[in-house]
Chains A and B, each alone.
Chain A
Amino acid sequence: MAEPILSIRNVTRDFGEFRAVDDVSIDIQTGTITGLIGPNGAGKTTLFNVLTGMLPPTSGTVHLDGQDVTRFRPDALFAMGLGRTFQIPRPFAKMSVLENVMLAPLAQSGERLWGPFFQSGKMRDQEAAIRRRAMEVLDFVTLAPLADNAAGQISGGQMKLLELARILMGDPKLILLDEPAAGVNPTLTKTLIEKIEELNRDGKTFVIIEHDMDFVMQHCDPVIALAEGRKVFEGRAEEAQSNTVLLDAYLGAQVE
């Protein structure tokens, strides 16, 4: 098999006494849509936070494209092509939807203090290109009509699409989505799935945390399950459905 785009080795993350992620090793293959499932509190979001540099692991390593990126900062990882969305959306609330998206491109010359004064020509050209691209991306995620609305005023589902639009501006090769369909109405979910599959066909790799089993079974392969911080299953979606360990983990957590 080809070299994995993301290689997680023995990652552990403690919060004080509590072990939220426990010795997890996963390889994510290029071009896949991996489903990451598990009961509430299993450590899925914590694992994302470690992978994206928001939390340092207590131990273990993460390699992106063969390079050791353990403890890299989130901004550096985004620049290397790793984009993520948040379980609870984090829009820049008092900025317009369009501005939210225009923020994302890297290395904007107008982002330096002197840029607007000494590189104003270059800045204007870049801005025009960024605006055009931002409108395309907003169009792609069906948010173009809301471009001038305050990002804090759109619906929760639309915020999830907005987060996707923002990271697309950075043209990431690996995208981590934390519960993209939670709280999103069925029509919007359908749109979202179409967009994900379209991007996947263009070569982008996805890891998706999702509780909606239909979503996972239909669109994710492989499926990885965490429970109490440990990896308890890795395989094809069909196998997941009949896997007893996995069912126990879910039912156990839900009955408790």
Chain B
Amino acid sequence: MIGVLSYLIFFATVASILSIAVLGLNLQWGNTGLFNGGVVAFFGAGAYGTLILGGIPQDGLIGGFQLPYLIALFGGMVIAGIVAWVVGLLTLRLRHDYLAIATFGVAVAFENLVRNAAILGGAQGIRGFERPLRDLFESALAYNAAFFVFVLTLLILTYLFLERLIASPFGRLLRAIREDETAAQSLGKSPSRVRLTAFIAGSVIMGLAGGLYATFYAFISPQDVLPILTFQIWAMLIVGGAGNNKGAVMGTFLIWAAWTASGWALSRFAPLEVQLYTGSIQFVLIGFVIVGMLMWRPQGLFPEKLVVSQSAAAKR
């Protein structure tokens, strides 16, 4: 019973954290049409940033500034935002597929950087993070439950923030630029500035997810910022419905459930030789889910609404 409960908390925590990242991608892709193929770079920047700023000093590692946790978490978001700002200035002139390739490259470069930079922990990653307020709780279960509430609160805040943003003239502007940048510019809008703003804002949200993820495991390593995570996050958004925040969250829980269930089923029922390839099989499955969804229901389970900006929808 305790086992099931603690597993449920574990599952819901990770799914909630990933939901935040998917919401960030939804701002970029669903609303603005920015094809970010390197989500893990910004997720990773937040994760590494949080542990570096909030961690204890360790031999040979950068950081260990022991900042109060919330400041460290916020700092991780800022670092993700700075990375996005630099990447955005360099790549946002690119269109769709080129932007995807460029950002994918950035993410691979990021992984290589953290893998090879000894001061960032190298392949070992950064360990030994003291989780905030851990001492206040006697049992691990109680602590994890409290941490889940914290994550859930942040998920709800992120969701409300984005819903309000999307319903505003800013959201209207994002979608206009997604639909037809040239027309938007002919109406006095500045697409490059808006694209950069949306790219940074989405990446900061991904950074928040990364910071929470690293906090939850008290650990981050290059294994956590592999391209597969980018694909998973994309699958969650596509299945849920790009352009719809509720869809983004639902898609995350669904795909994460399918992912963990398939991993469990493979480890339980597949022959031993096959189990060696569990990761690869899941990789292929994620590919099928993305392609299948795009063919069968490209708008996702929860399609975007037509009239999003609130005052346009108001009764006349």
The residues of A with any CB-CB pair to B shorter than 8 Å are 52, 54, 73-75, 78-79, 83-84, 86, 90-96, 98-100, 102-104, 106, 108, 110-113, 115-117, 123-124, 126-128, 130-131, 135, 147-148, 150, 166-167, 170
Residues on B with C-beta less than 8 A from A84 are 186
Q: Are A111 and B197 in contact (CB under 8 A)?
A: no
Partner of B188, one of A54, A79, A150: A79
| 7 A-B interface contacts by CB (under 8 A) | A74-B186, A86-B183, A86-B186, A102-B312, A103-B189, A113-B170, A116-B167
The answer to whether the Cβ of B195 comes within 8 Å of any Cβ in the partner chain is no
> In whole Å, how far is B53's beta carbon from the nearest beta carbon of chain A?
24
Partner of A75, one of B176, B190, B307: B190
Instruction: Tell me the complex Cα distance, A191–B185, Å.
Output: 27
Residues on B with C-beta less than 8 A from A93 are 179-180
> In whole Å, how far is B56's beta carbon from the nearest beta carbon of chain A?
35
Interface size on B, residues (CB 8 A): 34
Given A54-B182, A54-B186, A108 contacting B169 (CB threshold 8 A)? yes
Q: Are A123 and B168 in contact (CB under 8 A)?
A: yes
Q: Are A90 and B182 in contact (CB under 8 A)?
A: yes
Q: Which residue of chain A has its CB nearest to the CB of B201? A: A113
Partner of B176, one of A79, A103, A147: A103
Residues on B with C-beta less than 8 A from A170 are 187-188
> In whole Å, how far is A106's beta carbon from the nearest beta carbon of chain B?
5
Residues on B with C-beta less than 8 A from A104 are 187-188
Given A112-B170, A115-B170, A92 contacting B186 (CB threshold 8 A)? no
The answer to whether the Cβ of B173 comes within 8 Å of any Cβ in the partner chain is yes
The answer to whether the Cβ of B86 comes within 8 Å of any Cβ in the partner chain is no
Q: Are A103 and B173 in contact (CB under 8 A)?
A: yes
Q: Are A75 and B170 in contact (CB under 8 A)?
A: no
Q: Are B307 and A78 in contact (CB under 8 A)?
A: no
Instruction: Tell me the complex Cα distance, A150–B188, Å.
Output: 22
Instruction: Tell me the complex Cα distance, A95–B312, Å.
Output: 10
Question: Scoring B residues 252 to 296 as 1 if CB is less than 8 Å from chain A, else 0, what string do you get?
Answer: 000000000000000000000000000000000000000000000
Residues on B with C-beta less than 8 A from A52 are 186
Instruction: Tell me the complex Cα distance, A104–B172, Å.
Output: 10
Instruction: Tell me the complex Cα distance, A113–B170, Å.
Output: 6
Of all A-B residue pairs in the complex, the 10 with the closest CB atoms, nearest first, are: A110-B169, A116-B168, A78-B188, A127-B311, A90-B183, A92-B179, A110-B168, A108-B169, A74-B185, A96-B307
Q: Are B189 and A75 in contact (CB under 8 A)?
A: yes
The answer to whether the Cβ of B165 comes within 8 Å of any Cβ in the partner chain is yes
The answer to whether the Cβ of B90 comes within 8 Å of any Cβ in the partner chain is no
Q: Are B306 and A94 in contact (CB under 8 A)?
A: yes
